[in-house]
A and B are shown apart, each in its own frame.
Chain A
Amino acid sequence: MTDQTNVMPEKEGFFSGFGKALVKGDLFVKLSLIWWGAGYIRRKQYVKAFIMTALEVAVILFTVGFAMKYVPKFSTLGTVKAEKVFNMQTMKSEFNDYDHSFKILLFSLISFVVWITAVVVCIVNVKNVYRLQLMEENGVHINTFKEDLISYKEEKFYITLLTLPVLGVVVFTLIPILLLIFVAFTNYDQQHMPPSSLFTWVGFSNFLSLFGGGGLTVTFGYAFVRVLGWTLVWAFFSTVTTYIGGILLSLLLNSKKTRVPKLWRTLFMVTIAVPQFVSLLLVRNFFANNGIVNSICDGIGLTGFLRDIGMISTTYIPFLSAPGWAHVMIILINIWIGVPYQMLIATGVLLNLPADQLESARVDGAKPFQIFVKITMPYMLFVTGPALITDFVKNINNFNVIYLLTQDVYVTTNQAMANSQAKEVDLLVTWLFRLTQEYYNYKMASAIGIIVFIICSVFTLIAFNYMIKGDKEGTYQ
């Protein structure tokens, strides 16, 4: 078995190996292209031959029995509308054989995935049987089926381990994402909702209207730019504030002068222990226009003072209901929610601060602030850099905080925003959520989803490239 690798040179392109196998292979190898089991039969590997044949039959059955019902309609996404007649005898409505655009889209997509997999399997199969041919010609031992099975428990164990996750990624991640991308190029919205209506391909028009190219309301592009702007501002500030706050807090708790640090730490952890939506909804009610905080502020005369100096024009402080106020409040509340997590991470990292460096710095007479800037922060940034990027991307998509704090409370007074169903405090995701949830605008939601995806991936790629580039690891010491 160890000789196997010698027989077939490893450094060979996927397709060139396939071509070579086809050209140089014997009749049975060539036949394997049509009948997947042929090559194995020739080498007396009957179990494998059976499995491959069964697999091929399964693919053919799938194609004829399932895929062909949907894939031919893929170019139009269906043409037959649902119609029904009520039958008094059966007390049932009888439907025609109508097309369901979404099913056509989804099942075609699945068919494509299956077919691509089948092609790959077929190519690999031809190459495998060609290798068997070579092995036979060279008189190398060919594994029996049982030996093969055992090898998946031994040296090829990684394949066994990875099969399920890979399948999971394809089914639960790849197919939905591809579907999302497809929907962005259709007119799937409230006017075109299956099963009663059909939707179809519209090319790039959704992206055009997203960037103000007409079609949609004139304000959509206007709203998009503003929402995107706030999304990035929010992601930056929420990440940075909780990050710095977490480090400072953990430094404070780690300081030898702090009494009962465990008590403090536990108290801060309580915010994590309470489900986020509970605490956020409570906070939202505290800061509501006629909530308890406003009553207190009114009582101590703060509201009146702010009105006197012209900060507010209302009889309450619009903590979560006016732009500016709400933006700042959301970031502040997020600090309260997010700092404990960062504190936990920072505590772990700070415990590993190189003690010798701290010691020598102290001996050299460095002040605590200098130590913080020159040693602690660089070390923290080095260790938690990738996590920081993840946090940033997570905050771009931080649905909970924004939605729970502003839904039903924040009403925009910007008519142009309202005409596009957006608010000043919306992130792209919350806007996207309301577009799908309240307006069934799946096509625009998909288009926005793709944009969010691109923003996140571009940012991640750049940041990771910069942080983990080559010798970075060496420079810190």
Chain B
Amino acid sequence: MKKRFMSLLLSAAVMATGVLTGCGSDSGESDANTNNNASNSSAQQSSDNNAGTGGSGETVNMVLWGAEEDQDLLKNLVEKFEAAYPDQKFNIQIGVESESTAMDTILTDVEAAADVFAFASDQLPQLVNAGALANLNEVGEALSLAGKTLDDVKSANMDTAVEAATLNDTLYAFPMAGDNSYFMYYDSSVVSEKDVENWDSLLKAAKKGGKKVGMTLASGWYAASFFYGAGFTTALNEDSTTSIDWNGTSADGYKGTDVVKAMLKISGDPAFLAFADGQSSNVLTSGDVCAVISGTWDAVTAQKVFGDNYAAVKLPTYTIGKKQVQMAPAYGYKFMGVNAYSENAGWATLLADFLTNEESQVERFQKRAIGPTNKNALAMDEISNNEAIMAVTSQAEFGVLQMVGGKYWDPVKTLGEVIAQGGLSESDEAGIQKALDTLVEGVTAPVN
């Protein structure tokens, strides 16, 4: 149950008893910090006046969090980072923290979290809101030690990625990977390149081949692609609430109810298979599907299952009335962030930048097959020949950067599940409208 909360309390209690027995010897972290700073600056001013060479006498302690699969890569990159600053002694610990859960762990206790951490872009607003991410405009000055400025970082990466890492005109994280989205894997022996262009022909071809087309509907990440495609939007407000217009009419002139009807038509097709979030590789290996909507994390599985007929392509279009609407995926990135409460904010910034620069991104692709955000890296032959990464980056132009608050996920997930189960009738206009109204009410509810 409230295990983590309790353990937090307990550790706090234990810590407090430590303080008790020490009889007020520890005067709280903030004081300790300032003391530290004071002694450092005096020590440093004498030894280090030319910032170009960097390095004070004392060891810089830092903690870095990254995904479990990235550990070897990070270790390697950290060694290179240390070698780049031979005058400075480092003690950099690497910990395991998945990008998708980084926020949960960090927000539990920001002051105890890592100095530098990898996280998924959808967590950025909440991390910024909680004051967990360092404002890079403030600490970006430190990049001068690496001989560059914050603007160099911005211009080196895809514009959409930089935009995703920016909130209120402030850059909060370094773009690291650009393939956090979904597209379609298919078996070209069952469905042709022409079939995958739209849902109607895709489902027809799948039915003919006795296979199914799989997609997760019960998820605010996947289900949104239908709405985003029709010109609907979501937005994050300053007070962390979410704006959503799905119960109205979109800029493209489509009604929200039309989108739901189109989704119901697809989900009601016998050749369509709705599966739960996270089940994509199970679905692939079951052999029942000829096409599945998923991300680069399934590339290896899909290649194994489809063999020579493996292919990857952008999302299909779907039909509203007589028009074809291109599905627009929620497009996400992976970032490296600097903890706002890091004791060595400057060095942490340098480390985060180093881990996301061109060379590191190329190495990340070579070792882990993760798509880069760096423009030069993307232009390299070996990357532009990768089918999955190209499928995903080809969508960046119409993909939608999903900025939403915490209240967005459950209501949309539920609507997706209702549609997946056929809980609404295509002809029940009023029922669909009511469902959308309820959805909007839940999503826009005040936070907490």
Contact = CB atoms under 8 A, between A and B. Distances in A.
Interface in A418-454: 418-421, 429-430, 432-433, 436-445, 449
Contact of B34 (A94, A217, A397, A430): A94
B51 A413 contact: no
A288 B447 CA distance: 33
Interface residues of B, number: 91
A93 B28 contact: no
B37 A94 contact: yes
A240 interface: no
Contact of B9 (A69, A179, A217): A179
A418 B413 contact: yes
B13 A176 contact: yes
Nearest to A421: B410
B16 A88 contact: no
Given A88-B346, A416-B438, A429-B1, A61 B406 contact: no
Contact of B138 (A86, A95, A437): A86
A440 B5 CA distance: 10
A87 interface: yes
A356 B129 CA distance: 73
Nearest to A96: B30
Interface residues of A, number: 87
B104 A415 contact: no
A449 B24 contact: no
Interface in B400-448: 406-407, 410-411, 413-418, 421-423, 435, 438-439, 441-442, 445-448
Interface stretch (A6-14, A27-35, A185-193, A263-271): A185-193
Contact of B131 (A197, A397, A411): A197
B189 interface: no
Residue among A61, A66, A93 with the highest chain B CB neighbour number at 10 A: A93
Interface stretch (B40-48, B225-233, B290-298, B389-397): B40-48
Contact of A290 (B3, B239, B279): B279
Contact of A408 (B10, B278, B288): B278
Interface string B206-244: 000000000000100000000000000000000110000
A429 B2 CA distance: 8
Interface stretch (B76-84, B159-167, B169-177, B336-344): B336-344
A92 B9 contact: no
Interface in B84-111: 104, 107, 110-111
Interface of B: 1-6, 9-10, 12-14, 16-17, 19-20, 23-24, 27-28, 30-31, 33-34, 36-37, 40-41, 44-45, 48, 51, 56, 60, 104, 107, 110-111, 126, 129-132, 134, 138-139, 141-142, 218, 239-240, 270, 273, 275-279, 282-283, 286, 288, 340-347, 406-407, 410-411, 413-418, 421-423, 435, 438-439, 441-442, 445-448
Given A92-B346, A318-B421, 7 more contacts: A61-B24, A90-B41, A96-B30, A106-B16, A216-B448, A440-B448, A441-B448
Q: Closest 4 interchain pairs by CB?
A: A196-B131, A65-B24, A91-B346, A419-B442
6 contacts: A66-B20, A92-B36, A322-B421, A411-B414, A411-B417, A440-B107
